[in-house]
Structure 1
């Protein structure tokens, strides 16, 4: 354990990324599917206000999830679409209000692949799947070879509208993560089989994104430590992915875990009280010099301090804790050991916690968090109603 007198100094330290960009401290708001877009791919005033609050709360880096370049494969109808047809003025308003106080704002570049939201997409992944709870078409070789340029175009658009970096999403069961997972990827060509081949498209995406944005623009990546599914990506293979990424121009590796594959365990299941994936991060640290960020299960300042002080990770990613208190970084940076009041419910409902935290995000963005009080069934109802309304708008805006 680090002495309390030294803790605020550790979290306050700047981090210089390989590209030269500087993060002002060691705390990040990790990417979450805040799903606050307007249903037509644009950020809303509530979403802009939310990220403005996080920047004002002292965070060094906020990452927006999900930002898609291709409207055919969204994770939710509240996702953002950023391409040449987007309303760039709205995005510029977003970024200008969220990079205050020296905070960075990065776009998480996503593509849901086989897990694309059915009401507004025709899911397509590395291989065709026909399971009871998951069906998708398989991608052609041309589909795959178009991906690097699609990600590169989206990254360049993000730079143009004022994002200060991008994070390539290769975790949580979405498209690039699907290529890594034997459960999703049954291909026998150069994009399937060995872990090296399954990782090939990710390395191609990294190369094209870097070429598009230049050497001094931050490019990070989110990867799974494992899928936490039998037959999925293992930690052994995930460490090989780290080895491959270490040889690229990536500036930050965000380690997480789990997947939205039907029936998958939540990240917290089978883990200690937190932080999650720390043992994997220790092994990853021994094979890469790329700065590491660890996301999942950080609830107390001493957990963050110890993770940074140990040298295992360079950044700590905060998710739900930042939804409960957007000013949490300022508290921890001052040496306060304050812990947010995490909600407790007598009985959980599938999807209930995700819905509750999403509705809490909306309340934060609308400056009414002090009035927020929802039970899980009500949160799910409101969450599903919002998705249905925005799905209707999405289908009109982006017909398949």
Structure 2
């Protein structure tokens, strides 16, 4: 479907240079490839496939591409083959940055710690705000987390700081600290997983204390012209979890500590994983990808009952995101259901600074070129979500033909 001539002229305003926050890092346009787990690693080291994947996105016209799930330490990994930031992974990451720059885009990486959501058998201990049952790792013999001590918190902060400095040193343009989706920092923010009785639990002021301290330390360590973005839930997607009101509070605090931009997201991986994804649940493939017969059987029996499906609608987070837009002045990256020229224009008209895209670019890395040239007005992605299954089958990819 081709856009109307007047919309082609309107969408051109999305393809102008724009700096991230107050930094001197300038993107060629407002489009950011959202961090989406690629599954393109070998023994924790990025492969050539990961490099090619992000170079293709850069050639396709994104202003910045974001590598997903860069664990800040070996213990921070969700599973033991996941990439983490250390001297051996920095070599291919440096090459990736150079090639993305040569293709005309900027590059960022998502820094994360899994917290209790782990089946990483090499981890010395499983950390979380509180002692929690770990359903994800239970069948791997990792049933419970330990409540973090002040010493644990300081070590984790240092891991994030060291990772960010290392990435700046090898030529990355920014980092994105993952405070959403039910990983460690999100676990502190959510009443579901934070049961602490000290200054790090209870009110949202207390629950956000450790995550905000961590972001502040990273911002201070990397300096003014290395943007630190934060991925933050609008809500966890269930009652008595991290709420939209909590999000507004945390966003205001992030503005005070010079966070460059917030990527607004949602969902809690262990409870509402498709709150973010929306669309169909590829249950058959998820069952096949189980790492053991016990996991396959558990998913087959309980999957249809515990994994809730959410209907896909264009710009599905917009109403919630507007509450944050009205509350803060810092740059906001809108994420959630943008798949057309009309959807893009709506987001920009509502005052959001950047637009994050995932599935439309997985379906077709040239999606933005086609939009800008007037050859396409809407992504042909059908939200089957089979790309999620492919993450564990050699790397994320679309199972559809990019032409339809």
Name 1:324's counterpart in structure 2: 363
Q: TM-score scaled to structure 2, two decimals? A: 0.82
**Deviation per residue, 1:278-299 (Å, 9 max, x gap):** 1122111111111110112112
Name 1:301's counterpart in structure 2: 341
Change (3 A) 1:339 1:77: farther
Name 2:29's counterpart in structure 1: 25
Name 1:290's counterpart in structure 2: 330
Change (3 A) 1:10 1:148: same
Change (3 A) 1:14 1:126: same
Question: Secondary structure of 1:72's partner?
Answer: helix
**Deviation per residue, 1:12-55 (Å, 9 max, x gap):** 1222221222111011100011121112x211000100001000
Q: TM-score scaled to structure 1, two decimals? A: 0.83
Alignment match of 1:11 (pick from 11, 14, 21): 14
User: Are 1:128 and 2:134 counterparts?
Assistant: no
Are the counterparts in 2 of residues 37 and 77 from structure 1 also a CA contact under 8 Å? no
Are the counterparts in 1 of residues 39 and 394 from structure 2 also a CA contact under 8 Å? no
**Deviation per residue, 1:190-249 (Å, 9 max, x gap):** 111111111111221122112221111111000000001222101111111111111111
Deviation at 1:307, TM superposition (A): 0.5
Cα distance in 1 between the residues matched to 2:80 and 2:359: 21
Alignment match of 1:200 (pick from 204, 209, 223): 209
Cα distance in 1 between the residues matched to 2:359 and 2:271: 22
User: Are 1:73 and 2:76 counterparts?
Assistant: yes
User: Are 1:231 and 2:265 counterparts?
Assistant: no
Cα distance in 2 between the residues matched to 1:276 and 1:360: 30
Cα distance in 2 between the residues matched to 1:304 and 1:72: 39
Within a 5 Å distance, the mapping from 1:166-185 to structure 2 comes to 166-185=175-194
Name 2:262's counterpart in structure 1: 253
Change (3 A) 1:270 1:262: closer
Question: Secondary structure of 1:113's partner?
Answer: coil
Cα distance in 1 between the residues matched to 2:115 and 2:132: 12
Question: Secondary structure of 1:66's partner?
Answer: strand
Name 1:162's counterpart in structure 2: 171
**Structure 1 stretches lacking a partner, 5+ long:** 372-400
Could you list the runs of 4 or more consecutive aligned residues of structure 1 that deviate by over 6 angstroms after TM superposition? 368-371
Deviation at 1:103, TM superposition (A): 0.7
Are the counterparts in 1 of residues 118 and 134 from structure 2 also a CA contact under 8 Å? no
User: Are 1:187 and 2:196 counterparts?
Assistant: yes
**Structure 2 stretches lacking a partner, 5+ long:** 137-142, 279-308
Question: What is the alpha-carbon root mean square deviation over aligned residues?
Answer: 2.6
